[in-house]
Amino acid sequence: MLASSAILAGVAVSGAAQAQDIDFTIAVSIPAATHGWTGGVVYHAERAEAEIEAAYPNVDVIVSTASSATAQVSALEDLTATQDLDALVILPFTSEELTGPVAQVADGGTFITVVDRGLTDPAIQDLYVAGDNIAVGANTATWLAEQLGGEGQIVVLRGIPTVIDDERIEGFTQVIDETNIEILDIQYANWNQDEAFTLMQDYLARYPNIDAVWANDDDMLLGVLEAVDQAGRDDVRFALGGNGMKQVIEMVQAGDERTPISTPYPPSMIASAMYMTLAQFTGQAPMRGSFLLDAPLITPENADQFYFPDSPF
């Protein structure tokens, strides 16, 4: 059986691509495309899988998506039951539910790369890759404070109650607190475009003057913009998000006056984590540690560097 499979494989491949043994197996466990950002994660993970397997025929990358924390736990069980994983790159659905299952995978000797949402016990991971959420908030606030001359009235939308959201808000409010800008209100809209639309309608009904709104995330920004446009409110001089969503970068590129900047918190960080994990195995490159992505302002001048036309996000 084995011998004839090998012969068949030999017939099927061209001169360039010889059938090779797989030396390393890297599993990538990510949330399914439940919103724009995770849609980008799935796109970039699958793209990096193809790129890596083309460059390294001896590496097998397995991308597995899950639509809930429970489904992700099951997916981990399936992945480890059927093969020996050299590495697991995981963007945990939730920290609490995934910590135990990932610890079990680590106990089996698998290199663990955690992306974005940390586990409850950081000692489990070998490599941590994340965006700088404090900088996302602080860089946005610094720009806004300068534009508003250090005064005015603004509203803020929060995401899902998580460390990520806490950090963004912390970075933002620390800068704003040192100005005369008043935060009229700050409420959760769960990184959801529809909820952001509804919350912004409420803000607009309650506050006759809003100089600027910070939506904390570009998905929510789209809902905010719709609400402001429907209300025909000209007082809103700036409406800012964050994450570097494709549609928002297009606004930045076009010189939109209300949304002239964004900050990257790119879903392609899953690819960064995959390439870094790969280097641990294909090179002698030590990759244990923490990689914190910068969050530079995306402006009309540099927007093309953050724009991936084929990406859904």
Q: Which of 132, 167, 218, 219 binds a second copy (CB under 8 A)?
A: 132
Does residue 308 interact with a second copy by CB under 8 A?
yes
Per CB under 8 A, the list member of 32, 53, 291, 312 interacting with a second copy is 291
Amino acid present at 40 = G
CB 37 within 8 A of CB 220: no
Q: Is 302 in the site for a second copy (CB under 8 A)?
A: no
The single-letter code of the amino acid at 274 is M
Nearer to a second copy, 188 or 291 (CB): 291
Which one of residues 274, 298, 303, 313 is an interface residue with a second copy (CB under 8 A)? 274
With CB under 8 A as the contact rule, the residue among 47, 79, 124, 249 that binds a second copy is: 47
Pick from 46, 51, 170, 235: which binds a second copy (CB under 8 A)? 51
DSSP the chain: -HHHHHHHHHHHS-SSS------EEEEEEEE-SSSHHHHHHHHHHHHHHHHHHHH-TTEEEEEEEESSHHHHHHHHHHHHHHS--SEEEE--S-HHHHHHHHHHHHHTT-EEEEESS--S-GGG-SEEEEE-HHHHHHHHHHHHHHHTTTEEEEEEEE-SSSHHHHHHHHHHHHHHTTSEEEEEEEEE-TT-HHHHHHHHHHHHHH-S--SEEE-SSHHHHHHHHHHHHHHT-----EEE--B--HHHHHHHHTT-SSS--B-B--TTHHHHHHHHHHHHHHSS----EEEEE--PPB-TTTGGGG--TTS--
**Should residue 307 be labelled a site residue for a second copy when binding is judged by CB under 8 A?**
no
State how far the Cα of 137 lies from the Cα of 157, in Å rounded to an integer.
12
Using the contact rule CB under 8 A, the part of the chain among 60-68, 78-86, 228-236, 288-296 near a second copy is 288-296
**Residue 291: CB minimum distance to a second copy, A:** 4
From candidates 18, 83, 187, 198, binder to a second copy by CB under 8 A: 18
Question: What minimum distance in Å lies between the beta carbon of 18 and a second copy?
Answer: 7
Which 249-268 residues touch a second copy, going by CB under 8 A?
Answer: 264, 266, 268
Q: Which is nearer to a second copy, 90 or 196 (CB)?
A: 90
- Comparison of 48 and 169: residue with beta carbon closer to a second copy: 48
309 binds a second copy (CB under 8 A): no
Kindly tell me the burial class for residue 55, based on how many C-beta atoms sit within 10 Å of its own C-beta (0-12, 13-18, 19 or more): exposed
289 binds a second copy (CB under 8 A): yes
Does position 61 bind a second copy by CB under 8 A? no
Q: How many residues bind a second copy (CB under 8 A)?
A: 38
Using rule CB under 8 A, residue 311 touches a second copy: yes
CB 100 to a second copy: min, Å = 22
Can you give the binding site for a second copy, defined by CB under 8 A? 15-18, 44, 47-48, 51, 55-56, 132, 264, 266, 268-269, 271-272, 274-276, 278-279, 282-294, 296, 308, 311
